A = this chain, B = another copy of it.
Amino acid sequence: MALKNAFYAQSGGVSAVINASACGVLQTARQHSDQIGKVYAGRNGIIGALTEDLIDTSAESEAAIAALKHTPGAAFGSCRYKLGSIHEHRAQYERLLEVFRAHDIGFFFYNGGGDSQDTAHKVSQLGAELAYPIVCVGIPKTMDNDLPITDCSPGFGSVAKYVATSLREAALDLAAMSRTSTTVFTLEVMGRHAGWTTAACALAAEHEGDAPHILLFPEVAFDEDRFMAKVEKALERYDHCVIAVSEGVKGSDGDFLSASGLKDSFGHAKLGGVAPLISNLISTKLGCKCHWAVPDYLLRSARHIASETDLQQAYAVGRAAVEFAIAGRNAVMPAIRRLSDAPYRWEIIAAPLSEVANQEKLLPADFIRPDGFGITEAARRYLAPLIVGEAYPPFKNGLPDYVKLQNVATPRKLTADFAICTE
Interface residues of A (CB under 8 A from B): 10, 13-14, 16, 44, 47, 71-75, 77-81, 161, 164-166, 168-170, 172-177, 179-181, 185, 187, 203-204, 260-266, 268, 270-273, 276-277, 279-281, 284, 291-298, 300-305, 307, 309, 384, 387-390, 392, 395, 397-400, 402, 422-423
CB-defined A-B contacts under 8 Å, sample of 16: A13-B177, A72-B172, A73-B173, A79-B180, A164-B399, A169-B298, A170-B301, A187-B298, A203-B399, A262-B264, A264-B277, A266-B281, A272-B279, A291-B296, A293-B296, A304-B305
Contact A280 B268, beta carbon cutoff 8 Å: yes
CB of A124 to closest CB in B, whole Å: 23
Given contacts A47-B179, A80-B181, contact A72 B173 (CB under 8 A): yes
User: What separation, in Å, do the CA atoms of A161 and B397 have in the docked complex?
Assistant: 10
Contact A14 B266, beta carbon cutoff 8 Å: no
User: What separation, in Å, do the CA atoms of A159 and B30 have in the docked complex?
Assistant: 41
Given contacts A13-B177, A175-B73, A392-B390, contact A284 B268 (CB under 8 A): yes
In the complex, residue of chain B having the shortest beta-carbon distance to the beta carbon of A79: B180
CB of A290 to closest CB in B, whole Å: 9
User: Residues of B contacting A47 with CB < 8 Å?
Assistant: 179-180
User: What separation, in Å, do the CA atoms of A392 and B272 have in the docked complex?
Assistant: 34
Contact B304 A281, beta carbon cutoff 8 Å: no
User: What separation, in Å, do the CA atoms of A373 and B170 have in the docked complex?
Assistant: 30
User: What separation, in Å, do the CA atoms of A384 and B398 have in the docked complex?
Assistant: 8
CB of A390 to closest CB in B, whole Å: 6
Contact A397 B388, beta carbon cutoff 8 Å: yes
User: What separation, in Å, do the CA atoms of A73 and B295 have in the docked complex?
Assistant: 19
Contact A301 B398, beta carbon cutoff 8 Å: no
User: Residues of B contacting A270 with CB < 8 Å?
Assistant: 280
Contact B295 A173, beta carbon cutoff 8 Å: no
User: What separation, in Å, do the CA atoms of A232 and B152 have in the docked complex?
Assistant: 40
Contact B297 A294, beta carbon cutoff 8 Å: no
